[in-house]
A = this chain, B = another copy of it.
């Protein structure tokens, strides 16, 4: 029973209706078998990361977006926790600070892309600038339209220069979000993560979903695809994300660098 990652990938420039995409995996793969598969995939991911690091000529950028409380932090902990922290950098994009606002929206993002050999993880990203910026009307609609194209150009630059880009939307329902927020309120060690501001944001749920749909339609490319991850079962969410990363790294033609000496000839004094 294997998971076909392509089923969750958005084809280039296809229109997307999130309502028709599952938020909860209900396929035939069971949890027990799924966790075994995940453990194997994590091992493969660890080996591939070591190879990416040794190869040193390419990098991988992973973009994570979702509604509040969908599990971005937990995904990062579970998928990227097991890999070598020396070759993995997580960057969390909050609202831009005053210096960042003095620049174009890709300025701070570009500074944080992974160097060759590394995996970079964006917890939120430049997509906020076509999501919250659209819903809250932070910039004119005309500019949002242009931003989709600027994002595509930017991601295409990264791709051509050796950085592969994969983007995940952790898809949940409005009811599931409610449960998760309630859990934060009920759990002393999670309470600090609860922000009363999350509540008025729920009023804009449909507008955010619409903004996501547009972003996926405009910015899912063959070079930098979006995946819509049913995120309400954590084991499946982790499995799908890990599998996409493994497949992506395997397609990158990574290899150990050639050395300019014959190891058999070297004598260590």
Q: Which residues in A have some Cβ–Cβ distance to B below 8 Å?
A: 50, 54, 73, 76-77, 80-86, 88-90, 92, 121, 123, 178, 181-182, 185-186, 188-189, 191-194, 196, 199, 202-203, 256-257, 259, 261, 263-264, 266, 268-269
Contacts and interface: CB of A to CB of B under 8 A. Distances in A.
Contact of A83 (B81, B123, B185): B81
Contact of A263 (B54, B123, B185, B257): B185
Query: Shortest 4 CB-CB distances between A and B: which pairs?
Result: A185-B263, A86-B90, A80-B85, A77-B84
A266 B269 CA distance: 70
Contacts of A193: 54
Contacts of A178: 268
A194 B123 contact: no
A266 B197 CA distance: 12
A265 to B, nearest CB: 10
Contact of A81 (B85, B186, B263, B266): B85
Nearest to A195: B259
